[in-house]
């Protein structure tokens, strides 16, 4: 009886396996108000899981370009008109399925910029043999990539060398790595960038920063008269899109 039961299970599993069909799935990561997150900025790490069991069905990085700027940012958007081309970054999976499966699709991006990386998720039914291609599943990533460039982390700075003025600098880009310039497609004038300065844990001032002649680089100045332990928080905020970004360091004036 036991042997007969085991044989029945084996036959059932064989039946399921023989009816599995490969389903192709494309997932793309798009920066909010910008382009796609691809190889040039480190990509997005995509995971596709069976929602019921938690089993990972596919995982990997998006690869390719950030897309066609004219098509995405200057073209006329309408239903059915794709904003991708053949080089646009994507993750493509081939998933064997024997029955419709409800899945969680998530991505973390930009993967190599951990201070800016965020997670975006969605859910969808995958049907055996029914591919989801073309634009595929689009995951949106709000925010900016912001890096404090100067001062450096825990830098010791002599007060007498500053001559009363501390200059600080930060790099700011879209989540896809797209450049921010004065008057450009991503216009620096529409983004508020400020530095919050603390000394010995107490907030002392907030300083606006302006775009420099170099793309992505914002600069500011602070009158510096006393020694101590300082914390510098620089944030970016776009009121139109809601995109934000932030970086923080500590330095010492001695």
Q: Are strands 21-31 and 132-141 parallel, antiparallel or unpaired?
A: parallel
- Which residues, in sequence order, are bridge partners of residue 61? 45
- 164-210 tens-digit pLDDT: 899 999 999 999 999 999 999 999 999 999 999 999 999 999 999 99
**19-141 and 144-253: same fold?**
yes
- 101-129 tens-digit pLDDT: 999 999 999 999 988 999 999 999 999 99
Q: Where are the domains of the chain?
A: 19-141, 144-253
- Which architecture does CATH list for 19-141? Sandwich (2.60)
- Which architecture does CATH list for 144-253? Sandwich (2.60)
- 204-240 tens-digit pLDDT: 999 999 999 999 999 999 999 999 999 999 999 999 9
| Dihedral angle of Cα 227, 230, 208, 210, to the nearest 10 degrees | 90
Place of tokens 């059932």: 12
pLDDT value of position 163: 87
- 73-82 tens-digit pLDDT: 776 666 667 7
Q: What mean pLDDT do residues 148-152 have?
A: 97
pTM as predicted:
0.88
């Amino acid at each position: 009886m036991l042997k007969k039961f085991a044989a029945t299970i084996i036959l059932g599993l064989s039946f399921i396996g023989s009816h599995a069909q490969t389903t192709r799935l494309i997932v793309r990561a798009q920066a909010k108000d910008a382009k796609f997150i691809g190889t040039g900025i480190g990509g997005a790490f995509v995971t596709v899981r069976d929602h019921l069991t938690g089993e990972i069905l596919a995982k990997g990085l998006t690869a390719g370009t950030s897309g066609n700027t004219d098509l995405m940012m200057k073209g006329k958007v309408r239903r059915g008109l794709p904003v991708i081309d053949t080089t646009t970054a994507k993750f493509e999976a081939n998933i064997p399925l024997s029955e419709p499966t409800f899945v969680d699709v998530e991505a973390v991006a930009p993967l190599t910029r951990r201070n800016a990386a965020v997670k975006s998720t969605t859910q969808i039914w995958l049907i055996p043999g029914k591919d989801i291609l073309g634009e595929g599943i689009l995951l949106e990533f709000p925010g900016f990539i912001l890096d404090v460039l100067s001062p450096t982390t825990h830098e010791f700075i002599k007060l007498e060398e500053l001559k009363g003025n501390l200059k600080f600098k930060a790099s700011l880009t879209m989540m896809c790595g797209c450049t921010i310039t004065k008057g450009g497609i991503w216009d620096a004038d529409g983004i508020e960038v400020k530095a919050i300065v603390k000394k010995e844990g107490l907030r002392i001032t907030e300083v606006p920063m302006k775009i420099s002649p170099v793309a992505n680089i914002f600069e500011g100045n602070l009158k510096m008269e006393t020694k101590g332990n300082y914390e510098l928080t620089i944030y970016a905020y776009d009121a139109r899109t809601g995109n934000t970004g932030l970086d923080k360091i500590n330095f010492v004036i001695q």
